[in-house]
Amino acid sequence: MLQLPWKTRGICLAAPKPDELDLFDQFVKEKLVPGGCNLIVLLVRYRYRFKSHPECVNPRDPLDEASAKHVADTCRSYGIRLVPKMNLMGHQSEKAADTYDGLLRGYPEFDETPHLSEVFYCRSLCPKHPSIKPVIYDLMDEMTDVFSADGLHIGMDEVFDIGKCPRCKDTPTYRLFAEWVTDLYRHNLRRGIQTLMWGDRLLNGLETDYGSWEASGNFTEPAIELLPKDILICDWHYEDMTEYLSVDIFANAGFRILLCPWRYQANAEKFIDYAKNHDRGHIEGVMATTWINSGDLMRYNLNGERGGSTSPATLEALSYTIDWIFGSGENR
């Protein structure tokens, strides 16, 4: 098992389908618990049968209340903290060219770029729409309540469309970003909920050499100086870098972070080694990200079963990294 000097060893996992709950239980018991897992960030997004706003439900295998409580109970029984995750600015559309995710299905008027007819990957919400916050707050509250969660991951990664609509275009992008995140944070704080978010939009893509995916290319990064410092930043990096400067940047800004690698073990090792050498007491731990169908991942890790919607190469590479982080068996 990977030796870590930090308290958190977690995984970011897509919510299981309603008919995969037994598989989820087995995966947690046999693979995650023996590897010291104490955090699951569950990618629910809008795949939940919301009662407050049923118009926002993503129809692809959404969890109902009983299924969500089952997942929460399983995690609680093993002492694993469960934090649901939603996308609350970017990622409001899916890779299918004609598919909005849940919020824009129900409220297309919340789109930051309604003048664009094509539904492309990574549509964004308009943070200044006068009707958006009551809907967002209802969904946030229902999500944390059904999972009995003390934290909520609000997403905020890969926000490419910001400051483009008539309401937003005269406000600097970093201010739009910071004010929106701070409002979500304050709403959570009033309910005793910790806010987690991805850190990429708080980094300058050119200065860090991370580029415009793992960092910002549209001047949102000055928001790092405006956000509350008790937001937990999930610092994700997947590529082979000489330096992982975000570790230092977040330390300088006063944030605590989780290190979030993906499928390539060699890159994950470099990221974690850099962080160990640059830790100023601000690192909470490691959270493996997965970004594939959780059923495919769980079946492969439990039974060696290939198939589903995930390519064999991705499945195998990712499983190597998970085995390395959680020590859950021999590398395949």
| Nearest residue to 237 (alpha-carbon basis) of 248, 245, 227 | 245
**What confidence category does residue 116 fall into, taking pLDDT thresholds of 50, 70 and 90?**
confident
Do 71 and 63 touch, CB atoms closer than 8 A? yes
Indicate the pTM of the whole model. 0.96
pLDDT in tens, 142-190: 999 999 999 999 999 999 999 999 999 999 999 999 999 999 999 999 9
pLDDT in tens, 264-274: 999 999 999 99
Map out the domains of the chain with their CATH numbers: 8-85+133-160+194-326 (3.20.20.80)
The answer to whether residue 48 scores a pLDDT higher than 80 is yes
Across 6-45, b (16+ Cβ under 10 Å) vs e yields: eebbbbbbbbbbbebbebbbbbbeebbbebbbbbbbbbbb
Tokens matching residue 188: 């959570």
Do 193 and 215 touch, CB atoms closer than 8 A? no
Rounded to an integer, the average pLDDT of 246-275 is: 97
Give the pLDDT score at 329: 45
Q: Which residue has the tokens 């330390």?
A: 251
Tokens matching residue 165: 């609509």
- CA-based torsion, 117, 123, 124, 130: positive or negative: positive
**What confidence category does residue 238 fall into, taking pLDDT thresholds of 50, 70 and 90?**
very high
pLDDT in tens, 17-46: 999 999 999 999 999 999 999 999 999 999
C-alpha 210/C-alpha 203 separation (Å) is 8
The answer to whether residue 138 scores a pLDDT higher than 90 is yes
Do 85 and 41 touch, CB atoms closer than 8 A? yes
The answer to whether residue 249 scores a pLDDT higher than 80 is yes
Give the pLDDT score at 98: 63
Which of residues 60 and 74 earns the better pLDDT score? 74
Do 162 and 177 touch, CB atoms closer than 8 A? yes
pLDDT in tens, 63-111: 999 999 999 999 999 999 999 999 999 999 876 656 889 999 999 999 9
Q: Which runs of consecutive H residues, i.e. helices, occur in 123-211?
A: 132-146, 173-190, 205-208
